[in-house]
Amino acid sequence: MTEPLYRVQALTRRFTDAGRHVLALDGVDVEVSRGERLGIVGESGSGKSTLVRLMTGLDRPTSGTVWFDGEQVSGRPERELGFLRAAVQLVFQDPRSSLDPRMRVGDVITEPLRSRLVRRQLGTGIDHRERLAEVLTAVDLPPEAADRYPHEFSGGQRQRIAIARALAPKPEVLIADEPVSALDVSVRAQVLNLLTDLVRDQGLTLVLVSHDLQVVRHLCDTVVVMQAGRIVERGSTSRVYESPESDYTRALLAAVPRIRIDPSATDHPVTTPGA
């Protein structure tokens, strides 16, 4: 049996907030296979973003273990996580806060290539200028975008810049945390279509975090549903959406607007107003 790329075992995370003990994750188990497209869904406070922070080594669990490609992530100091920083890249919810406004777009995108941990893992074989041109093309931005600043672009274009930066070090895994929720309805479908194409064409493993089950349905082949720090349902997207077993999943499905399929773009979702 093939070892999963990601293996999360009995993961628990407790916080102290204003004297109260908060259980953000409660014994979570997750596996992600190479090439899989996994959706993590749940309402705000369900624990999905906490789970992603632990999977990426940006936080440490109270208990439990995270493994990536056979290497333990949890509990290791940052200086030992070069293997993870090169292989796993993130796209955050709001590109306005994730892109440094003082840096030109070209420098923003190639910034991961200058990371000491990434350079140690990848070596010095990547030509920054060549890679910049490749990823700008991949996200449908013109070459001259490299010389401009993030504030000169629209919200959808800024998210394309953030995606280009994530692609720059040639990662194996792309983790997208609510990648379209901060965007206007009119551009959400464009960014979702772009992610769909990139994951397919570059053979990426995708972990998509969203409160919107319809977004996950069109991008992911498997899904886990989280509530109050626990996984309440998991399975193939088709099974979970057609025959949900959890009352919570049924409530989420009933609460969100639908995404219709644009007949001129096969397999590409188009958000309906209010999505």
**Residue 84 CB-half CA count within 13 A:** 23
Q: In the chain, what are the domains? A: 34-50+77-271 (3.40.50.300)
Residue 190 has pLDDT above 50, yes or no: yes
Q: Each residue of 75-117: pLDDT tens digit?
A: 899 889 988 988 999 998 877 777 888 999 999 999 888 876 6
Q: Each residue of 143-168: pLDDT tens digit?
A: 999 999 999 999 899 999 999 999 99
CB atoms within 10 A of CB 267: 12
pTM for the predicted model, two decimal places: 0.87
User: Do the Cβ atoms of 226 and 42 come closer than 8 Å?
Assistant: yes
Averaged confidence pLDDT in the chain: 87
Q: How far apart are CA 203 and CA 197, in angstroms?
A: 10
- Looking at residue 236, its amino acid is S
Q: What is the 3-state secondary structure (H, E, C) of 126-188?
A: CCHHHHHHHHHHHCCCCHHHHHCCHHHCCHHHHHHHHHHHHHCCCCCEEEEECCCCCCCHHHH
Q: How far apart are CA 78 and CA 85, in angstroms?
A: 9
